[in-house]
């Protein structure tokens, strides 16, 4: 057996276990969440962090038009905790903790399809200048919003698999 034939054979042999595992992308035409792609109207944001959250949800779920089948409302709350305090009583690091409640409803009739809450946190350093600390805080809030949006999408996809959407 030549070297290239052996590599082809070994590659095919390595991929063989994956052929029967039943893996299928969630948004594939026969996937569990196919009915959600582009069918969820996300309620508009009211602040900068909410705008990042809504944008990430629309990136992951697809932007819907006027004919959306579902409406998703998200309520996000954040708080800061000082976690790095020096002996001089100066704060060097903050945790930003976020929670987001979400409700997915059918547009026709308003029936709640799925609801829940997700939580996450991120951190930033406050040891530099005021401007860089404010920039780090804003970046931490944006990362937190993106992480919460990803968790919401994961929950929606898992719920869709259970419903057979």
Q: Residue 66's domain is classified under what CATH number?
A: 3.30.160.150
pTM for this model (two decimals): 0.78
Domain range for 155:
32-163
At 161 the pLDDT is: 67
Give domain status of residue 37, yes or no: yes
Give domain status of residue 24, yes or no: no
Give domain status of residue 26, yes or no: no
Tokens of 77: 């709350």
Give domain status of residue 21, yes or no: no
The pLDDT tens digits for 18-71 are 555 555 555 544 555 556 778 899 999 999 999 999 999 999 998 887 788 999
Question: Where residue 6 falls among pLDDT bands split at 50, 70, 90?
Answer: confident
H-state helical runs in 45-129: 48-61
Q: Is residue 109 exposed (0-12), middle (13-18) or buried (19+ Cβ within 10 Å)?
A: exposed
Give domain status of residue 19, yes or no: no
- The residue among 56, 50, 57 whose CA lies nearest residue 141 is 50
Give domain status of residue 10, yes or no: no
Give domain status of residue 130, yes or no: yes
Number of domains in the chain: 1
Give domain status of residue 2, yes or no: no
DSSP collapsed to 3 states, 118-153 = EEEEEEEECCCCHHHHHHHHHHHHHHHHHHHHHHHH
């Amino acid at each position: 057996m030549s070297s290239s034939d052996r590599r082809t054979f070994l590659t095919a042999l390595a991929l063989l276990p994956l052929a029967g595992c039943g893996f299928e992308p969630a948004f594939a035409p026969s996937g569990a969440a196919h009915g959600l792609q582009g069918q969820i109207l996300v309620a508009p944001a009211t602040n900068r962090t909410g705008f990042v959250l809504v944008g990430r949800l629309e990136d992951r779920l697809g932007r819907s038009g006027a004919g959306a089948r579902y409406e998703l409302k998200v309520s996000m709350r954040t708080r800061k905790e000082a976690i790095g305090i020096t002996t001089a009583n100066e704060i060097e690091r903050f945790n930003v903790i976020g929670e987001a409640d979400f409700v997915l409803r059918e547009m026709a009739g308003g029936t709640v399809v799925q609801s829940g809450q997700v939580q996450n946190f991120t951190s930033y350093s406050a040891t530099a200048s005021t401007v860089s600390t404010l920039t780090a805080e804003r970046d931490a809030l944006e990362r937190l919003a993106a992480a919460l949006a990803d968790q919401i999408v994961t929950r929606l996809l898992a719920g869709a698999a259970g419903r057979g959407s």
